[in-house]
Amino acid sequence: MRIVLLGAPGSGKGTQAKKLMADRHIPQVSTGDMLREAVAAGTRFGQRAKSVMESGQLVPDEVMLGIISERLTQPDCADGFILDGFPRTEQQANDLEELLDELAVPLDGAILMDVDFDILMKRLTGRRTCSVNGKLLNIYFSPQAELDACIAAGGELVRREDDNEETIGKRLDVYRRQTEPVVGFYKSRGKLRTIDADGSVDEVYARLTAALDL
Ligand code: AMP
C-alpha cells in the first residue's frame, strides 16, 4: 500500500500514520520527523531547516525532493509507505508523481483528514510529548491519568518548538495557501478520499481503514 495522508497541521496525520504502520507493517515517512532529526543532529542543513520550521514556512521543494527520493528508495519502502507531511505543495505532488513513475510504483491514493479549525487550534496548542517515553499527549484531550503518569515517572510534557500560537497561525496560513491545492491535485486524478478526522484516535482510525479498504 502506497498512500499519502493529507490534512492541516494538527489533523492527526502522524498519530494515524503510526497506528497504520504498526498494523500493516509499512513505514510511516514523515518529512517533519526527518527534518526534526536533522535539526537535532545539528548538521549545517539542520540549522537551516530549523529557522525555516520555526518561522512556520516550508523547506524549498527541491530540497524536499532530494530527501524524499532518497527515503522512498530505501529497502523498507519496497512494499509500501505512508507519506505524512509530503507532498505539501503542488510542485511536490508533481515531483512525487514523476518519482513514482520512474520507480514504476503508482500511488494507491490520498486520504484527506478533515477537521474544523477550532479543533486544530486546540490539538496544536495542547500537543505535548512525554520526555520519558515519547508518548504523544494533549493537555486538553488526554486523560488526566496519562498526563499525571508522565510527570510521576519523572518526565516533562514537552512542547514542539513550532507549536506556539504565532507559528501555528503561520503554519495554518501556509497550509491554506500552499497545501490545499494538493487536495485538488489528487481529486482531479480520482485519487482522493476524505474522512472526518474529528473524534477519538480509534474512531478516526476506523474511518481511515474503512476508506483504505474501499
Ligand atoms: P510537520 O511535522 O509535518 O508539521 O512539519 C513541521 C515543519 O517541517 C513544517 O512546518 C515545515 O517547515 C517543515 N516541513 C515538513 N514537511 C515538509 C514538506 N513536505 N515541505 C516543506 N517543508 C516541510
Q: Give residue 118's pLDDT.
A: 86
Question: Does the pLDDT value for residue 27 go beyond 90?
Answer: yes
Q: Give residue 214's pLDDT.
A: 66
What's the 3-state SS for 67-102? HHHHHHCCHHHCCCEEEECCCCCHHHHHHHHHHHHH
Question: Does the pLDDT value for residue 86 go beyond 90?
Answer: yes
Q: Kindly report, residue by residue over 107-149, the tens digit of the pLDDT.
A: 999 999 999 988 899 999 999 999 999 998 999 999 999 999 9
Question: Does the pLDDT value for residue 19 go beyond 90?
Answer: yes
Q: Give residue 117's pLDDT.
A: 85
Nearest-atom number in ligand 1 for the CA of 171 is 10
Q: What contacts 105, CB < 8 A, 6 or more positions away?
A: 2
Q: Give residue 71's pLDDT.
A: 97
- The x, y and z cell numbers of residue 18, run together, are 503510526
Q: Report the range of poorest mean pLDDT among 40-44, 178-182, 207-211.
A: 40-44
Q: Kindly report, residue by residue over 153-202, the tens digit of the pLDDT.
A: 999 999 998 999 889 999 999 999 999 999 999 999 999 999 999 999 99
Q: Give residue 56's pLDDT.
A: 92
Q: Give residue 213's pLDDT.
A: 85
Q: What are the distances in angstroms from CA 198 to CA 5, 9, 50, 92, 205?
A: 15, 13, 30, 27, 11
Which residues line ligand 1 at a C-beta cut-off of 6 Å?
Answer: 9, 31-32, 35, 52-53, 56-59, 64, 85-86, 88, 92, 162, 171
Residue 190 amino acid letter: G
pTM for this predicted structure: 0.91
Question: Does the pLDDT value for residue 28 go beyond 90?
Answer: yes
What is the distance in A from the centroid of ligand 1 to the CA of 146?
28
The percent of residues in the chain predicted with pLDDT above 90, rounded, is 94
Show the domains of the chain with their CATH numbers. Answer: 2-116+179-212 (3.40.50.300)
The mean predicted confidence, pLDDT, of the chain is 95
Question: Does the pLDDT value for residue 35 go beyond 90?
Answer: yes
Q: Give residue 123's pLDDT.
A: 92
**Residue positions annotated with a catalytic role:** 13, 88, 127, 160, 171
Q: Give residue 190's pLDDT.
A: 96
